Amino acid sequence: MTPDVRPFVAGNWKMNGLSGSLAEIEAMRLGADAGEAGAAELVVCPPATLLAQAAFKLSGSKLGLGGQDCHPEASGAFTGDISAPMLKDAGASYVIVGHSERRTHHHETDELVRAKAQAALKAGLTPIVCVGETLAEREAGQQAAVVIRQLRRSLPPETTSETVVIAYEPVWAIGTGLTPTFGDIAVVHNGIRALLTEIGGPSSAKTRILYGGSVKPTNCREILTLNNVDGALIGGASLKAADFLAIAAAYR
């Protein structure tokens, strides 16, 4: 954890969830409002089809709401895409950009991720900018170089600790059940902190850095207490309120 930084736990539902899944969000709301996450800020990012309904349920709640992606343009002839102003209008306060699944399956570049982050900021959203290396890059010893390159190119110049959240997700650990050693996680997060301080100075030195990649109730406490790990971006374990809240309870 970083001193004087409020922890942050976000759930990325990915392409999962129908209207019946709103019951899980309601259970998360009850847990958040009951203080089950202590001082941590909690956010859930369901599919776009559930955002408006979820926002209605979360009105006045301590549980925040986020989108999973946005287009860099505010509007236009982009069939099937969702803009940052649309997410804001639907009730979101955050949006994930640059997730490895977008970078891999949709061939998103660092430059596109930066444009999306800037669009989010312009719309009044906080972007959660994701970075992380593949297994091949890790085995080639390129882990640090990849993460640093992605950060330098993906972060908008107006990044500050109040406007942007970073999420480090080693691609090979997402949905595989594999997790880096605690030492590996600490090294990367320390490196990200050093880079943020270098490129942004005091205004970004306390930017929250989340870890993502097979975070579960059984391993969260050790991960979330590591130096410069300020929270988690959770995938599969966020689909069930009990698991999501059990992870967040590490901050109680």
Annotated active-site residue in 24, 133, 137, 169: 169
Active site residue 162: no
Could you tell me if residue 76 is inside a domain?
A: no
Give the CATH number for residue 132.
3.20.20.70
C-beta of residue 141 within 8 angstroms of C-beta of residue 162: no
Lowest mean pLDDT among 88-92, 197-201, 216-220: 197-201
| 122: helix, strand or coil | helix
Q: CB of 249 within 8 A of CB of 215?
A: no
- The answer to whether residue 108 is domain-embedded is yes
Per the annotation, the verdict on 99 as an active-site residue is yes
Structural domain includes residue 193? yes
Catalytic residue selected from 41, 99, 133, 189 = 99
Q: Please give the residue range of the domain that contains residue 213.
A: 8-46+92-160+171-251
**Cα distance between residue 141 and residue 26, in whole Å:** 44
In sequence order, the 6+-apart residues with CB closer than 8 A to the CB of 78 are: 71
How many Å apart are CA 187 and CA 245, to the nearest integer?
A: 27
What is the model's pTM? 0.96
Task: Write the CA distances from 141 to 59, 63, 87, 137, 144, integer angstroms.
Answer: 46, 39, 38, 6, 8
pLDDT tier, 131 (very low <50, low <70, confident <90, very high otherwise): very high
Residue 2: the pLDDT is 85
Q: Are strands 41-45 and 63-67 parallel, antiparallel or unpaired?
A: parallel
Residue 60 lies in a domain: no
